[in-house]
Amino acid sequence: MPEPHRPWGPALLLVLLLGAGPGRAASDLERCRSLREQQDQLAAAAMQAELILVRQRREEICPELSRQAEGANANKRLYTPTDYDALLACRHRSEELLRQRHAVLYRNRLQFPFHTPTGAARARQADRLAQQRKQQHCQRVGA
């Protein structure tokens, strides 16, 4: 019995499986890496805005401990004994004050609360990029 005529044959299947070839795979990888870098930068900026707010609340509640902590971080060679239990208690009080005074403007995809307009905006943008990466199958590409 003669084989049926298949005008496209295995060549078409190979083209469909490979897409536009290695050049497209490289451009997809670069696009995904770029999206990831943008997402990471936005997420870092969002967190930085929140850290500034937390630091401000901590400085209001326990200014002396805050100065000690900042000084120890700035100059590691200069030994300043810090009461870490008191600093931790201060941090907990400042976080409570933050929750009382500032509404949560946005929770990101990881459910982290953002209280500042800048942090919330950047976190939203980062989440949109994460969704875009997912829709474009960037996780599979390795970026």
The per-residue pLDDT for range 38-63, each reduced to its tens digit, is: 999 999 999 999 999 988 888 889 98
19 within domain boundaries: no
2 within domain boundaries: no
Confidence (pLDDT) at 5 = 54
9 within domain boundaries: no
Highest mean pLDDT among 93-97, 100-104, 120-124, 135-139: 120-124
Q: Where in the sequence is the domain holding 95, given as residue range(s)?
A: 27-141
Q: What is the 3-state secondary structure (H, E, C) of 61-103?
A: HCHHHHHHHHHHHHCCCCCCCCCHHHHHHHHHHHHHHHHHHCC
5 within domain boundaries: no
18 within domain boundaries: no
Residue pLDDT, tens place only, 74-114: 666 555 667 888 888 988 898 888 889 899 999 999 999 99
Confirm if 63 and 86 have CB atoms less than 8 A apart. no
User: Distance between CA atoms of 91 and 6, rounded to whole angstroms?
Assistant: 72
Tally the domains of the chain.
Answer: 1
41 within domain boundaries: yes
73 within domain boundaries: yes
40 within domain boundaries: yes
Confidence (pLDDT) at 121 = 97
